[in-house]
Structures are given as structure tokens and as C-alpha cells.
Amino acid sequence: MTKEIVCVVGARPNFMKMAPILQGLSAHPELRAYLVHTGQHYDEEMSRVFFGELNLPKPDRDLEVGSDSHALQTARIMTRFDEVLEERKPRMVLVVVDVNSTRACSLVAAKRGIEVAHVEAGLRSRDRSMPEEINRLVTDAVTDLFFATSPDAIENLVAEGVPRSKVHLVGNPMIDTLRLHLPAARARRAAAKFGLEEGNYALVTLHRPSNVDQPDLLHRIVRALEALSVRIPVIFPVHPRTRGRIADVGVPSSPALQFVDPLGYVEFLSLQASARLVLTDSGGVQEETTALGVPCLTLRANTERPITISEGTNRLLGTDPAAIIPAAFEVLDGGAVPPRCPALWDGHAGGRIAAVLHAHLSPG
């Protein structure tokens, strides 16, 4: 008998992690994936681009919840997802990462007595001011099957009382997607499109409210990027909301500092792969730069992905923009961490996850 697994995506980082899992599940015909897109990231054009580039199937159901406060968005997701589970009555719900959709859908499934599998379980920043940290804690509290990307995540789960037998170290499905699309990304040569020389520019991606919603702090970040652009060209794909905030604090006139529109997955990967360094506050970018061997400077006080520091190319700068220039110049002067990549970040995590799901759901 076919066993249905409802697979949930809600925001763009979910897409990159879900694609290899769905591909892995296709090797087990007795497991049927039913894809639900909550619509948490509701930009139709960007969603279309990501689904197309990653060869994700069209969602079986789009909940179209859109944007709102955390409470209202979560409530809408829970109400609409509950209707899906009432109709489908699946064997399991599979959620990924740490967005509101992850928390909301796992809670609904648990209340209905449906098993929950969580991909990227056990990641902890220990900073409860981050909404993502609350989502991680709540999701793992109701999870039945835990998929970890790194040993530190397993240690966190065991310390919280999760039986080790329920936790599986499978690697990182986001890196599956990266390795699959890297040849196309390199062939895209996105740097040339923006008048940049490969290996001779800095790529910036910032989106966390702690960095972009405080005018004084954002002003200091932008001025640091302007100072950095004197030494090396800087390109910053900016979300429209953040672009408006940058305009409020004053857009610098440096021709070597480019603010561009958000990019599709392959084009952004192309820029990452040939950057001299990356400045970010994104957990996913910390992982991708580690796999690519590109120096990464993270403008945060903490990270839920410490393996990108201990076994990768990432370095935490803290929250003071004054740290940007000395750290960036150190990289440019040859002080970058030698490229390393964690074990099992080898492009086969999706297959491992599917194999564990098959074994877990098979009789006996």
C-alpha cells in the first residue's frame, strides 16, 4: 500500500532543501510525496523562478497565506494545513529548516497524531530573540524522526532528551542542490553581467531585521560597504523592502558598490562561486560558502551552524559594522581560512533521507 508523506515548503530556502528529498523519494514508489507550499514567501515571480530552476514539481496544494505578523501568519498556516491533513490523512508530515511554516505544520500534524520528520533538526543558536530559534525548538519538541546535517546538531538533540535512535546524520540536502546546479552556475558567469571580474569582488546578502531594520546600524553597514568598495568591488542583491530602508539612510555614490534586484538561485550561486569573499547574515549562505570554499564573514553574534566555522570557511564578526573592514581586509591580504567541507556534505543527503523514511515506514 502506498504511504503518503506530506512535504511542506514555505520560503525560498526550503525549496533548495526539498528538491533533493523529493528526488530521493522518487526511488521508492511505495512512498508518495504530496507537496504543500504554504505561500509564506508569496512573491509569485521569485517562487516561479526557484521552482523552475530547481526542477521542483508544481505543488499539489498552495495555501497562499501571504505575509503578516508571525502570529497571524502562523494561525493562517495552521488552519489551512489542518484542512489538508483532514483530507489527505497522510502517514507522515515532513518539514524542513526553521521558518514559520515548519513550526505551524509540525504542530498541526502532532495534534492529529501524525508522525513528523524534521530535516535540519537540532540546529541551535541559543538566541531566543531570533524567531527561527523558537521555530526550531518548538518543531523538535513534537518531531518523531530527526534528520541532522552535522554532529553538533545530534549533540544538541541528545542533550535535550531525544533518544539517539530517532536521530539520523544524513548530510545537508541544500548542498545536494548546490552540487547539482554548480556546473550550470559556473557556466552562467553572472559576474560578467554586472561588470565584475571573477575572483575579484565581494558579495553581500543581508536580510535579518537585526541588521536592516535599525536605521543607525544599517547606515553604518552601508558606509562600511562603501569603504570596502574602495579596495574591491561590492555587489549587494537587495530585497525591495531593504532597498527602501537603504534609501532612507542614504545611498552611497561609490560606483564600485552595486545594489541590484534579488536574483534567481542559479545566478546567485554563480556570484557566490566566483566571489573573493561573501558578507552575510544568512544561515544558508554560511553553508553554501563552506561547500564552495569561499571565505564568509557573518554579521551576527551567533550561528546555529557552528560547523561552518569549525570545518568550513565562515567567521562570525558580531553585530558591530566596525568589524567588517578589518576582517575583509584580512581575507583580501591572504588571511582566509583554508577551504574545508564537512563530512556527508557530498550531494547525496536526499537519497539518505529517503532511505531512512522508507525503512521507518516499511512494515517490520
CB atoms within 10 A of CB 281: 22
In the chain the first and final C-alpha atoms are separated, in Å, by: 14
Three-state SS sequence of the chain = CCEEEEEEECCHHHHHHHHHHHHHHCCCCCEEEEEEECCCCCCHHHHHHHHHHCCCCCCCEECCCCCCCHHHHHHHHHHHHHHHHHHHCCCEEEEECCCHHHHHHHHHHHHCCCEEEEECCCCCCCCCCCHHHHHHHHHHHCCCEEEECCHHHHHHHHHCCCCHHHEEECCCHHHHHHHHHHHHHHHHCHHHHCCCCCCCCEEEECCCHHHHCCHHHHHHHHHHHHHHCCCCCEEEECCHHHHHHHHHHCCCCCCCEEEECCCCHHHHHHHHHCCCEEEECCHHHHHHHHHHCCCEEECCCCCCCCHHHHCCCEEECCCCHHHHHHHHHHHHHHHCCCCCCCCCCCCCHHHHHHHHHHHHHCCC
Q: Which residues are catalytic?
A: 207
